[in-house]
Amino acid sequence: MNDANDMTKYSLRSWVLVLALAPTILVGFLLGSYFTINRFYELEETLVDQASNIIEPLAIAAEVGLETKDFETSKRLITSAQLNKASLVEFIAIFDASNRVVVTSHHYKNHEMMRYDKPLDSMLRTELEQIGDSMILRSPIYKSSDAPVKGLEDNTPATRSDAKKIGYIAILINKESALLQQHRAGVIAFIIVMIGVQLNLFFTFRLLKNVTQPITEMVRVVAKIREGKLDTRLNGNLIGELDLLRRGINAMAGSLSEYHDEMQQNIDQATSDLRETLEQIEIQNVELDMAKKRAQEASRIKSEFLANMSHELRTPLNGVIGFAKQLLKTPLHSSQQDYIRTIERSATNLLGIINDILDFSKLEAGKMVLENIPFSLRETVEETVTMLSSSAREKELELVIDVDSGIPEELTGDAMRFNQIITNLVGNAIKFTDKGSVQLKFQLEKIIDDKVHLRCEIIDTGIGIDAQQQASLFQAFGQADSSISRRFGGTGLGLVITKRLVNRMGGQIGCYSEPDVGSTFWFSLPLNISQYPINNTVPLMSLEGKTILLFEPNTLSQHAIERMLQRWGLKVTLVKSTKQLEFITTQSQHIFDFALISCRAITASNDPAAVLSLAKKKIDNLLLISDCPEQEAFYSQLRPYIDKQISMPIGEKKLASSLLTPHSNIMSETLAAPTSVVPPAKLENLSVLAVDDNPANLKLIDTLLKELITHVQLADNGELAVKLAKERSYDLIFMDIQMPGTDGITATKQIRSNSANRNTPIIAVTAHAIAEERERISSSGMDGYLPKPIDEAALKGVITRWKTKPKFTHFDLRTLNWELCLTQANNKPDLALDMLKMLLKSLPETVEHIEAALASADNDKMLACIHKLHGACCYCGVPTTLALCQEIESGLKRGVPVEDVEPEILELLDELTKVESAANQVISQLSVDI
Neighbours of 771 (CB within 10 A): 14
Number of H helices, E strands in the chain: 27, 22
State the pLDDT at residue 367: 64
Q: What is the DSSP string of 844-906?
A: HHHHHHHHHHHHHT-HHHHHHHHHHHHHHHTTTT-HHHHHHHHHHHHHHHTT--GGGGHHHHH
Candidate ranges 128-137, 302-311, 437-446; pick with highest mean pLDDT: 437-446
Task: Kindly tell me if the per-residue pLDDT of 872 is higher than 60.
Answer: yes
Q: What is the mean pLDDT of residues 892-898?
A: 86
Which residues have CB under 8 Å from 737's CB, separation 6+?
Answer: 311, 743, 744, 745, 764, 765, 766, 768, 773, 777
Q: What is the mean pLDDT of residues 575-581?
A: 83
Q: What is the mean pLDDT of residues 308-331?
A: 70
C-alpha 346/C-alpha 332 separation (Å) is 19
8 A C-beta contact, residue 611 and residue 605: yes
Q: What is the mean pLDDT of residues 902-930?
A: 80
State the pLDDT at residue 6: 54
C-alpha 82/C-alpha 106 separation (Å) is 9
Q: What is the mean pLDDT of residues 167-195?
A: 81
Using pLDDT thresholds of 50, 70 and 90, give the confidence band for residue 440. very high
Which residues have CB under 8 Å from 605's CB, separation 6+?
Answer: 578, 611
Using pLDDT thresholds of 50, 70 and 90, give the confidence band for residue 22. confident
Nearest to 429 by CA among 455, 453, 466, 400: 400
Using pLDDT thresholds of 50, 70 and 90, give the confidence band for residue 524. very high
- Give the mean pLDDT of the chain: 79
Q: Higher confidence at residue 348 or residue 533?
A: 348
With the CA atoms of 621, 622, 623 and 627 taken in that order, what torsion angle do they form, in degrees rounded to the nearest 10?
180
State the pLDDT at residue 639: 75
Task: Kindly tell me if the per-residue pLDDT of 332 is higher than 80.
Answer: no
CA distances 184 to 30, 181, 187, Å, are 18, 5, 5
8 A C-beta contact, residue 120 and residue 41: no
8 A C-beta contact, residue 196 and residue 28: yes
Find the range with the poorest average confidence among 355-369, 608-622, 774-788.
355-369
Task: Kindly tell me if the per-residue pLDDT of 5 is higher than 60.
Answer: no
Task: Kindly tell me if the per-residue pLDDT of 504 is higher than 60.
Answer: yes
> What would the pLDDT profile of 656-707 be if each residue is shown by its tens digit?
888 888 775 444 444 333 444 445 557 888 899 999 888 878 888 888 888 8
Using pLDDT thresholds of 50, 70 and 90, give the confidence band for residue 532. low
Neighbours of 487 (CB within 10 A): 10
State the pLDDT at residue 417: 86
State the pLDDT at residue 901: 86
C-alpha 755/C-alpha 593 separation (Å) is 66
Q: Higher confidence at residue 5 or residue 229?
A: 229
Task: Kindly tell me if the per-residue pLDDT of 864 is higher than 80.
Answer: yes
Query: Residues 850, 856, 857, CA angle at the centre, nearest 5°?
Result: 80
Task: Kindly tell me if the per-residue pLDDT of 150 is higher than 50.
Answer: no
Single-letter amino acid, residue 746: T
Task: Kindly tell me if the per-residue pLDDT of 202 is higher than 90.
Answer: no
Reported as type and span, the H/E element at residue 737 is: none
With the CA atoms of 269, 275, 280 and 285 taken in that order, what torsion angle do they form, in degrees rounded to the nearest 10?
140
Nearest to 872 by CA among 461, 552, 536, 412: 412
Task: Kindly tell me if the per-residue pLDDT of 456 is higher than 90.
Answer: yes
The DSSP symbol for 738 reads -
C-alpha 765/C-alpha 777 separation (Å) is 10
Using pLDDT thresholds of 50, 70 and 90, give the confidence band for residue 633. low
CA distances 105 to 78, 81, 95, 510, 842, Å, are 5, 9, 12, 139, 129
Using pLDDT thresholds of 50, 70 and 90, give the confidence band for residue 136. confident
- Residue 843's φ and ψ, nearest 5 degrees, are -65, -45
CA distances 337 to 77, 150, 333, 566, 675, Å, are 179, 166, 6, 45, 9
Q: What is the mean pLDDT of residues 139-159?
A: 57
C-alpha 851/C-alpha 866 separation (Å) is 11
C-alpha 102/C-alpha 92 separation (Å) is 11
The DSSP symbol for 765 reads E
The DSSP symbol for 455 reads E
Nearest to 691 by CA among 743, 749, 758, 754: 743
33 class by beta-carbon count within 10 Å (0-12 exposed, 13-18 middle, 19+ buried): middle
C-alpha 730/C-alpha 745 separation (Å) is 18
Nearest to 888 by CA among 872, 869, 875, 912: 869
Task: Kindly tell me if the per-residue pLDDT of 389 is higher than 60.
Answer: yes
Task: Kindly tell me if the per-residue pLDDT of 242 is higher than 90.
Answer: no
CA distances 731 to 254, 550, 586, 710, 791, Å, are 97, 55, 66, 11, 21
Task: Kindly tell me if the per-residue pLDDT of 300 is higher than 80.
Answer: no
96 class by beta-carbon count within 10 Å (0-12 exposed, 13-18 middle, 19+ buried): middle
Find the range with the poorest average confidence among 40-54, 148-162, 527-541, 866-880.
148-162
State the pLDDT at residue 9: 61
CA distances 703 to 311, 445, 797, 804, Å, are 21, 51, 16, 22
Secondary structure in 3-state letters for 624-674: EEECCCCCHHHHHHHHHHCCEEEECCCCHHHHHHHHHCCCCCCHHHCCCCC
* 3-class DSSP assignment, residue 179: helix
Cα end-to-end distance, the chain, whole Å? 82
Candidate ranges 524-533, 758-767, 889-898; pick with highest mean pLDDT: 889-898
With the CA atoms of 630, 633, 639 and 640 taken in that order, what torsion angle do they form, in degrees rounded to the nearest 10?
-170
Q: pTM of the prediction?
A: 0.54
C-alpha 66/C-alpha 95 separation (Å) is 9
Candidate ranges 48-62, 87-101, 517-531; pick with highest mean pLDDT: 517-531
